[in-house]
Amino acid sequence: MQTIQSGYHSLGLLLSINWDRLLYVFTIIAALYFGAFLGSL
């Protein structure tokens, strides 16, 4: 149980440090999907 809790805390730390990179990747993926949608019209 302590190992799971420790892993959860470290995952939260990674997300808090790298949230801007995740947002950047999500924005690129959303733009690609939107471009594909517009291209299919």
Q: Where are the domains of the chain?
A: 2-40
Task: Measure Cα distances from 13 to 2, 19, 21 in Å.
Answer: 16, 10, 14
| The pLDDT value given to residue 20 | 81
| The pLDDT value given to residue 17 | 82
pLDDT in tens, the chain (41 residues): 666 666 667 777 777 887 788 889 999 999 999 999 999 99
| The pLDDT value given to residue 14 | 76
| The pLDDT value given to residue 36 | 96
| The pLDDT value given to residue 19 | 79
